[in-house]
Structure formats: C-alpha cells, structure tokens
Amino acid sequence: MEKVKFTAMKDGDREDYEFLNRHEIEFASKTASRLLDAMVDLDESMSGYQITRLGHSLQAATRAWRDGADVDWVVSALLHDIGDIYAPYNHDEYAAAILRPFVREQCAWVVEKHGDFQKLYYAHHVGGNPHSRDAYKDHAYYDDCATFCERWDQNSFDPGYPHEGIEFFRDMVEQVFARKAYDPAVIRAGERVPLTDSTVAGERNA
C-alpha cells in the first residue's frame, strides 16, 4: 500500500488509518531536524538589529545553558523566536504551540507570553504599553517569564557575545522532541523549575 484508498476521510477504513498512523509516527520522529533546519532561516528574518534572529536565538540559548538551565529551558530559549518568519504578529504563540507538547507547561507559558513581557523595554518608545505584562501579575509563572526576558532575551542582541553554534544544541533539541507528546510526566502542570542553577552553571563555565 503506497497511498490510502479514500478521497474523503469518512470513507477510510482501518487499513487506511493504520497506514497513515505509521507514516505520521515516522514523520514526527524527524521534527527536531526540521526545526533545526528552520532555525537557519532566521538569518534572513527581520533586519535592522546588530545581529540576525538566528544569532539572537543562539545567544539566548547559550545564556540559558551557561546559567545552568535544564534542557527544557535551553530548548525553549533556542526556539522562542522561531515564529518570527511565519507569524510576525504572534510569533510567541507560534513558538509556544510548537513546544507545548514536549516541554514543561511552565516553559511553554513563558514562551507564549514573552512578547508581552518584552514590551517593558521598548513599547513606551513606539506608543505601546510597556506594562502589558501586568495582566499576568497573579500568574504562577509571572516571575519566570520576567526572568527569562531579563536574563536571556532582551540582552541577546550583542554582536560581541560569544555564543555556541546550532550544532551545540542539536542533541538537546532531539532529546526534547523525541518525548511522547503531552506526557503528563513531561508537562508537569503547575510545577516550577528555577531558570538557573548555580552549581550546574559553575560546572559548565569551568
């Protein structure tokens, strides 16, 4: 069997859908590689900064790794702006949708909301609301998003910062996207994990 028999989904049978399921599992297994390839396209996204969006993403992920962050945080930092190319007006939601099945709820929420939190640094210059983040002030992950933006995001536009390359993060991305989607043991709803770990950071920066 090379293709399903149906032309309308309601006409498919067990053989058709078992066939498709096998193909979908194989396709999903290569998600990490496709995302890493897509990261390269960020080099041609949004000009005007002193570095490309790929450079920004690599800086953010490098800062996270050097801060002793766990793999969920590092991969979230790496991919937090991957939506810039395809969803420039809701890039944060786009990135969060990609990450949500495979990382802690905490990390997906931070990525989803980081656009509002980043406004603190620039919105007052362009007629926007720099206090958009206040809408989330009672949320359990508010402080995590504020820290994410302050330590890893807003400061990662520096052409002089020595960051790691994309291949450095490949194993981490592959590890995350090899997980079972929406596994409660991965999502860990309501659980907070610190963004930084001074002991791990000391080992990584030794």
Question: Using one digit for the tens of pLDDT, what is the confidence trace for 85-114?
Answer: 889 899 999 999 999 999 999 999 999 999
Predicted local confidence at residue 48, as pLDDT: 87
pTM of the model: 0.94
Q: Which of 136, 148, 150 is nearest to 193 (CA)?
A: 148
Each residue of 12-32: pLDDT tens digit?
999 999 999 999 999 999 999
Predicted local confidence at residue 140, as pLDDT: 98
Work out the burial of residue 166: count CB atoms within 10 Å of its CB; fewer than 13 is exposed, 13-18 middle, 19 or more buried. Answer: middle
Predicted local confidence at residue 46, as pLDDT: 65
Q: What is the architecture, at CATH level 2, of domain 13-204? A: Orthogonal Bundle (1.10)
**Rounded to 5 degrees, what are φ and ψ at 29?**
-65, -15
